Structure formats: structure tokens, C-alpha cells
Structure 1
């Protein structure tokens, strides 16, 4: 089992009945295995009987007539003992893996419980912070007087609970993520994600964001988080990923992408030009029985041909 001294994590797991039952079964089998009397394997039991007979014969020169019966009983007793101790060890391993699987499958439940604990802690911290005023350090609290000092002491106690919740959150999320997901989660935590929901990290004051990245929590940070009303515990990797995406997406973007004009394009028809009539042009004579038509009036001239260069 994953051992932990984090009281918040222990209490959180205890709130999930299936996990508590699996842990109870595991603890019981461990106790049975540890309390089981020491014994010998069948081979060790036979070797012990043989060694005793050899020592007796060496001392007395007499071989016992009940050797077979003694050896048979020692071997039979050892077989029974060995079978049970092996069964206890196998049961311990099986219950250990079953309990771990139960924990992993119930991780969203325990993370939801931790989110509720965080809400309780932040609510108490917000109430206590009203007496602080502008106090941000222990020295300032001492100088400010009794009310501020009492509030600071209360917040210092809540800070320990807050750290336990955050450590428990990280422990559970690490246990249920593998490979690439776990690597991405480490990067996100180092960037300050997983602390506040619905807040862009660029909008967080620099000294507060520094604490979010380092996880070196202070009373000042606890007060800021309590007053922001945005603190939360992700209930799964997907929940954390969605928050990261929301906190890093652009402030404004076009859902539909760039706009294109697909309306028909109409090309205007150019005005017709009159036909060109040159001085050498003539009107076609379609009927020789009639007088030849007069030549048309020229409206264009033939341009001079470009001179061909001589090399």
C-alpha cells in the first residue's frame, strides 16, 4: 500500500467506503501473516530430523527404529505449515494490488472530498483575514496588535491544513496518471496550474504567481486565494487539462476562422470597337448585275513595319 503521513490524505481515503474496506482487509491479512508462528519448509524439517538421527548415532552407535515415523510426521507438519504461510503471503500480495486498484478507481471521489476540505479551509481563512488589514508578515502582525496577531496565528494553523490538502491532491493525481500525462501534469504544476479555476495566470500578481509555481505556500498567499474565491482541487487529469486550456487560450478568437467572399464575380463586357477601314479596302461586290459599290471611307491607316535590324 502507498503509505502516507499526510493526515488530510488519510482522512480523505477513509471517507470512501470501498477504499476503507479494502484497506481494512489488507491490514487484517498483514497482521495474520506477521502473527503466524515460525516454522520450517518440508525440506528443512526433513533435514532437521536427519541431522538429529546422525548426531544420536554418532554418540550412541544406535540407529532409532522410529526414524521413518518421526521423519514422516515432521514432513507432514511442515507441509501444512508451508502451505498456509504461502497462502497468507499470496493473499497479502493479492489484497495489496486489489486495494491499490480500488484507490485508483475511486480517485475522483477522494479528490472531490479534498476539494470540499479546501473550501472549508479557505472559508475559515477568509473570515480570519478580515482582522489583518494590510498585514502581510508575522512581524507586521505583532506590531499591529492582539486582533491581527490572533488572526495571523489562526491563519498559520490553516496554512498547515492547506499544504496537506495540496500535497494530497498532487499525490492522488500522480498515482492515477502515467507516461505522457504525468509529464504534462508536472509541467502544468510548475507553471502554477491546478491552484485557481477560471483565472488566467497572466492576470495573477507576480509575487502570487511565484508561490503558485514553487508551491512554497505562505499566509499571504492563503489570504489572497481565500479572498479570490477561485481556489479548487482538480477531480481528475481531464479536469486539470480543461482548466489549463481555459487559462491559456487567447482572450479573443474567431470560432469560424477567416472570412472568404464566395459571391459570383462578373466581368463587364467591353464596348464594341468599330471595324477598321483602310485606304486599300473595298466593298465586296456580291452581284455583278448591279453597279460596283463605291469604296468605303477609310478610318485607319496601315502602320509602318518595324525595321529589321541588320547584323
Structure 2
């Protein structure tokens, strides 16, 4: 196992305990001797007796007891096998749920280890000066060679740290479940890693391409480590949400910010409702007669007159 991941998991007592239970349960299942199901064991005894009878005509005196004993012995084996198998399956679920619950604690530990690695890189950089290759370190000799060796060891630590980080951040499929719930999160985490997120806090503005490439590929170098040591923003996200905040940091737009001038007010204009206008009633108007079982309503009082026709004017 990745040593940094093993150390991170061991740092959380709950995870360490359930991981040990799982290892023990798997070993117990592997160590259980091979056997056969009870009905198979019983039929094997019966088949052997029938074959012997057909060969020499002799019938075993204790065939019933022998078959029953074979069945009973196989029941003991089967029960033990079932118990060990169930212990392994339930321990897998327990270890999965515990790791999911306490992954933030393990990631926090990785963040502390990252700071140790970066501190060591900064100390080595003070001795290295402008040296950026093994050949230059060998030419410089003395303490520079030793500092370069320490830096190479720290690159290995950084590689393992980031691998452990993504192992804890990438949601795993729950044992026994079909592919489903975490699909979208897994896709997002993988995409963010490809773009270079998860290395420094916040947006990727100012992060050089060779650092982003290292994040995507998982292959780190002395140059990447030294850049991260100088940047001051390197971190280990402690959750999916923490990583998501980094990924979205450069994508959020302030909708209230003006472009080159004052803020433009896009509030919709509200037009007041017009005052109601009474309907026009003419002398020839009549009220609606809705119920013909009742007398016709009285003619309404006129409040308007019909305008006269407009005389035709001919133009030549």
C-alpha cells in the first residue's frame, strides 16, 4: 500500500480498527479449508455404496449412518464457511462506511504531511541556490549533493501524498452496490484533477502548465516541488466540497459589477394599471335577458350617442 495512505488511515483510530478487522476477516476466509455442501457429501456416500453394490452385490450395513454423518459434518463446514464469508462482507461495508465518514481526518493528516514536505523543500532550496539538476548538484559537490538527495526523497513523498489524496477524495463504489450514486462526483473529481485543481488553494491563475501537468499525471519532479514550496498556497483539500470550492473559484461571476462604467439598472419597469372606463350605452342598447322565465329587464339608461356619418369628400 502507498505508505502515505497507510499512515493517513492509521492516523485515524476508527479507520485503523476497521481496516484491521477487514484484513483479519479476509484472511480467515482464505484459510478455511475446501469442502462440499451437505447434500453433495451425502450423495457421495450413497453413490459409493450403490457402485459397490452393483460391483459385488454386497450392501453396506451402515450406509444410512455413514450418509447422515457425512451430511452432518458438511453442515458444520458449511456453517463455518458461511460465518466467515458473512464476516468478510460485513467488514468490507464497515470499513467502507468508516473510511467515508472519517476521510476528512485522514486528509487533514495528509495536509500536515504536505507542510512537512514543503518545509523540507524550502530548506533544501536554500542550500541548492540555482541548482536544478543532478548534474549541476554533482558539479557543485559537498552539501549541495546531499541537499539534492533530500529533495529527491521529498519528491517521492509528494508523489505518494498526492496519490493518497486522490484515493481519499475519489468516491469509491460501496461493496455490493451497482454503479450509481457517486458516478457524478467521481466524474467531477477526475475532471478537476485533469485540469490541475487540488494542488493549490483557489483558482489556477498563475499556476504554470508544468505544475498542472504533474497534478493530472501524478508524476512530480524537483521543479514542481520547489515551485509549490515557494507558492505558499499548496494544500490538501479535506473534502469533495473543499475541492469543488477551488474548482469554482475562478468561475463565479459578480453579476452586480459594471463592465466599464456605472452599474446598469436592469430592474423591470412597472406600468400602473389604467383606470377603468365605463362602457358606452346607446339608446338602442338592451340589457341581456339571461333568464327567459322572468320578465325582460328594463332598457338601460343611455350615456352615449352614435356619431353621425362622416360626409364623403372627393379629391381630384
TM-score by length of structure 2 reads 0.74
Whole-Å separation in 2 of the counterparts to 1:206 and 1:310? 83
Q: Compare 224-233 and 53-62 and name the one that shifted more.
A: 53-62
- 1:46-82 CA distance string (max 9 Å, x none): 1211122123323432111211111111111112221
- Which residue of structure 2 lines up, in the alignment, with residue 187 of structure 1? 191
Distance 1:26 1:155, change over 3 A: same
Whole-Å separation in 2 of the counterparts to 1:242 and 1:197? 9
- SS of the residue corresponding to residue 8 of structure 2 reads helix
- Which residue of structure 1 lines up, in the alignment, with residue 263 of structure 2? 258
Question: Where do residues 160-199 of structure 1 align in structure 2 (5 Å cutoff)?
Answer: 160-175=156-171, 178-198=182-202
- Which residue of structure 1 lines up, in the alignment, with residue 78 of structure 2? 82
TM-score by length of structure 1 reads 0.75
- SS of the residue corresponding to residue 14 of structure 1 reads helix
**CA contact 1:137–1:220 (8 Å) conserved in 2:** no
* Higher Rg of the two aligned structures: 1
- Which residue of structure 1 lines up, in the alignment, with residue 149 of structure 2? 153
Distance 1:310 1:41, change over 3 A: closer
**Residue 167 of structure 1: how far off its partner (Å):** 0.7
Distance 1:250 1:31, change over 3 A: same
Whole-Å separation in 2 of the counterparts to 1:48 and 1:261? 87
- 1:93-148 CA distance string (max 9 Å, x none): 11112211111111111111111111111111111111111122222222333222
**Residue 193 of structure 1: how far off its partner (Å):** 1.4
- Which residue of structure 2 lines up, in the alignment, with residue 25 of structure 1? 21
Whole-Å separation in 1 of the counterparts to 2:33 and 2:186? 43
Can you give the 5+ residue segments of structure 1 that lack an aligned partner in the other structure? 263-307
**CA contact 1:128–1:155 (8 Å) conserved in 2:** yes
**CA contact 1:29–1:92 (8 Å) conserved in 2:** yes
- Which residue of structure 1 lines up, in the alignment, with residue 245 of structure 2? 242
- 1:232-260 CA distance string (max 9 Å, x none): 000001111122333455699739x9354
Find 1:224's aligned residue among 203, 227, 237.
227
Whole-Å separation in 2 of the counterparts to 1:218 and 1:187? 22
**CA contact 2:22–2:95 (8 Å) conserved in 1:** yes
- SS of the residue corresponding to residue 239 of structure 1 reads helix
Distance 1:182 1:260, change over 3 A: same
- Which residue of structure 2 lines up, in the alignment, with residue 298 of structure 1? none
**CA contact 2:195–2:216 (8 Å) conserved in 1:** yes
**CA contact 1:49–1:71 (8 Å) conserved in 2:** yes
Find 2:118's aligned residue among 122, 135, 145.
122
**CA contact 2:43–2:67 (8 Å) conserved in 1:** no
**CA contact 2:104–2:238 (8 Å) conserved in 1:** yes
Whole-Å separation in 2 of the counterparts to 1:202 and 1:102? 36
* Number of residue-to-residue matches in the alignment: 260
**Residue 216 of structure 1: how far off its partner (Å):** 3.1
Can you give the 5+ residue segments of structure 2 that lack an aligned partner in the other structure? 173-180, 268-312
